Structure 1
Amino acid sequence: MNKTTRLTQTTDYKLKEARWIRRMFLLYWMIIAVHFIAQLGCYLFLEYHASSYEFYVGVLIVPTLIMCGSNLLAELVHYKYNRYSFVILFMASTVICWTIIRLNYDVRIIPALCLLPIFSSILFFNRRLIWFSFVLQVGVFLLLLAVDGSFRTYLSFFDIVAILIFLIMSTFIAIIIQASGRDLLLDLYKTQRAHQELMISNAIISKMSMTDGLTKLYNHLSFQNFYEKALEYAEQGAIIHLALLDIDNFKKINDNYGHQFGDKILESISLIITEQITANDIAARYGGEEFAILMFEHTFEEAYQIAENIRHAVEKMIFHEKKQNISVTVSIGLKSYTEEMNKDSFFQEADDYLYQAKRSGKNKIVSLNHIA
């Protein structure tokens, strides 16, 4: 995996992490709102042993302000100093949870709310966060026992021990879940990575099977597939031109200078072809020293000009071999598709033009309207 890929994955992970933190803050706001509504509803519609002042100030307004303040402060720290996001996130959740527990300790199930920070930390697959949340819950619980007489009086020794054991067991369960989830994600990542590598390998193999190894143009078989598809488009009205190109005297070049030099010429000419055709056109090494080019949606003049640009660029090339300056030329046959043609006649006419070009002096383009 290269540095750019690793950087991209790290950035994606950070963005997803930030989204989950925002969702957690939103969850805390929802908990505060639900608690506010529930307390107000209980006071208005159920028997509530407290004066209006005690309820509105001591039970509703002050605790709500404390919870809102802790959550708001946590959000501000997250946006300004995001390296402390996790610490402040779980501190805020601890304040919210234990404020609610403190106000409702007569509800036997309410201490279970302290599990929210512990199980929330599982989302971030960090064991230290789970332990940090556990220490926060135990610390706040013991602090309440030490400073709040009514809270301490309400709980029996069994309740205190049970809550501590409950926190310890829940923490170990959270660690097991976190470890299992991390292993699952790792297996998923490995599977995805293997799948991606397989796709890349298949794409490379597919490209290799479609292209000529020397010139990097499409090979003969690929050209035949494109050619048949092009004819289907042509029958529906698409404008198509076929250029067949052959290197002049190529056998003599191979005999005099060797096949390595011949390969060098093939590579250079294929590069010229690639540079001159447009993105919509298809070029292939048809066989040996012969190339085929399908040109789409050009006028005949534009197609002819592309062929001429190729011919002229090849003519200008100078190769140095055995202390000699060697130049090569190409002959080209160019044919435009017409309605009365079929697959064989279209190719055959372009091929006939190519051989006319070779027989009439080489280094020229022959088409229906041009011999130059």
Structure 2
Amino acid sequence: MKGFHTHNSHIPTEYEFKHSKWIQKMLHAYWVVIIAHFAIQIGCFLFLEYDRTPIDFLMNVLFWPTAVSSSCILFASWVDRRFSSYSFYTMSIASTVIAWTIIHVNYDIRIILAICLLPIFASVLFFSKKRVWIVFLMQMTGYLLVLFDPAYRLYLSSFDMVSIPAFLILGTYVAQVIVTSGVEVLDDLQASMLAKQDLIVRNAIMTKQSKTDGLTNLYNQSSFKDYYEKAFEYANSGMSLHLALIDIDDFKSINDTYGHRVGDIILEKVSLIIQETITSSDIAARYGGEEFALLMFEQSFKQAYALVEQIRQKIALMGHLELEGASITVSIGLKSYSPNLTKDKLFEEVDACLYAAKRTGKNKTVTSLDLTSSLAEKI
């Protein structure tokens, strides 16, 4: 459509986020270096003998070095926000300028040369040999540039001219060793984490296998008993609970006529219908052989009855090629929890409902209300 433009906004990855975070921390550290250098210089000028005039000190020791260093950090911070893929290089350039500016201002203090190692060791945080070498080349470039100052060059001896590059090479070698060791540690840690994740997955699979029936993928009898006990405890505290037992009619004749493999297929199909019909809060299990148990929560008895009837009707309407197009049926017993029942008594009464469904014609759902009405008619 005209007048509308779509833009693919880049969502930073976790690595990019951490990379930017490290850059920001290093830039903050360089601010500390600049401020510390500024404060130390003022202290030295006020309390120690200083061979510079006040104007020379203010301009060449305080103002210009601080202004150049601060500008580099501000530029590096801007690049990190706008062009994060280049932030490492601008940060490294900024740290190189800061280091050699401080060295140039304080060239009469020999130990100050150690500050040129700061950018090299900062590059170790990114675990890249290539980046370490890039920063090394920046330090060598900074060293060569300050040699253009005759005063600094005059201060250096022949030994200094050789030892400074050697010092940088040695520092870079140490940084490379640290990077190599760090990468190995990270690889070992990643391998350990992957092994731990694999173990967790295997344990989860084993736990699931121990709780579910291998053929139907429903809970097994042992798991059902555990859930049934917990469900009964919840029911005692006021939660609705309905128990249903579902049994495939004439299943033995299916096995005898078509074989156990076909019988297994029928069990899988019935279990699939049960899984597709029940709600997410219900629990279904293969209780044994061709019998299934169903726990239903958070619904009325009328809703529970409608649900098991839906299961029964779906099964009855399905034809099976394995049975030469014939269909199968199931009988169901259903009863709700009541405070006067124990969990064993509830199960026995549902089993009695299932037996009544089998005895009175099969392919039906019998509830405790049906049994009560039948008993009253006999009386």
Which deviates further from its counterpart, 358-367 or 152-161? 152-161
Structure 2 equivalent of residue 56 of structure 1? 58
1:29 aligns with 2:34: no
The alignment status of 1:280 with 2:304, answered yes or no, reads no
**How far does the alpha carbon of each residue in 1:227-266 deviate from its partner, in whole angstroms, 9 at most, with x for none?**
2222222233332111110011111222222222222221
The one-letter code sitting in structure 1 at the alignment partner of 2:142 is V
- Which residue number corresponds to residue 360 of structure 2? 360
Deviation at 1:61, TM superposition (A): 2.0
Aligned partner of 1:325 in structure 2 is 325
Matches of residues 1-372 of structure 1 in structure 2 within 5 Å?
11-44=13-46, 46-145=48-147, 147-321=148-322, 324-370=324-370
Q: CA deviation at 1:304?
A: 1.5
- Please say which of residues 29-38 and 134-143 is displaced more in the overlay: 29-38
Aligned equivalents of 1:309 and 1:61: distance in 2? 86
Query: Once the 2 structures are TM-superposed, how far is the Cα of residue 47 of structure 1 from its aligned partner?
Result: 4.5
Q: Aligned with 2:369: secondary structure?
A: coil
SS at match of 1:333: strand
Moved more, 275-284 or 186-195: 275-284
Runs of 4+ in 1 over 6 A off after TM superposition: none
- Answer whether contact 2:241 2:295 (CA < 8 A) is retained: yes
| Structure 1 residues without counterparts, runs of 5 or longer | 1-9
Q: Look up the SS of the partner of 2:202 in the other structure.
A: helix
Distance 1:212 1:166 in 2: 69
SS at match of 2:169: helix
The question of whether the paired residues in 1 share the 8 Å contact of 2:245 and 2:294 is answered with yes
- Deviation, 1:272, is 1.4
Q: Distance in 2 between matches of 1:303 and 1:227?
A: 16
Q: Distance in 2 between matches of 1:44 and 1:359?
A: 109
The TM-score normalised by the length of structure 2 is 0.89
- CA distance in structure 2 between the aligned counterparts of 1:48 and 1:314, rounded to whole angstroms: 100
- Tell me the alpha carbon deviations over residues 142-199 of structure 1, each in whole angstroms, 9 at most, x when there is no partner: 3212x11222233333334333332222111111111111111111111111111111
Contact 2:349/2:368 (<8 A) preserved: no
Q: Aligned AA for 2:141?
A: G
Equivalence for 2:7: none
Structure 1 counterpart of 2:120, one-letter code: I
Cα–Cα, structure 1 residues 370 and 55, in superposed 2: closer, same or farther, change >3 Å? Answer: farther
Work out the CA distance in 1 between the residues paired with 2:130 and 2:214: 54
Distance in 1 between residues matched to 2:119 and 2:370, nearest whole Å: 82
Deviation at 1:135, TM superposition (A): 1.8
- Corresponding residue for 1:3? none
| Counterpart in the other structure of 1:5 | none
Matched to 1:196, the amino acid is Q
Deviation at 1:343, TM superposition (A): 2.6
Q: What is the CA distance between 1:268 and its match in structure 2?
A: 1.6
Aligned length: 361
Number of the residue aligned with 1:6: none
Aligned-pair CA distance for 1:44: 4.6
Structure 1 position 40, deviation (Å): 3.6
Name the amino acid aligned to 1:204. Answer: I
Per-residue deviation, residues 17-75 of structure 1 (Å, max 9, x unmatched): 23212222222233223323333444455544433332222222222221122222223
Between 1:225-234 and 1:116-125, the stretch displaced more is: 225-234
Identity of aligned residues (%): 51
Normalised by the length of structure 1, the TM-score is 0.90
- Structure 2 gaps of 5+ residues are 1-11, 374-379
Q: Report SS of the residue matched to 1:58.
A: helix
Distance 1:44 1:338 in 2: 91
Counterpart AA for 2:337 = Y
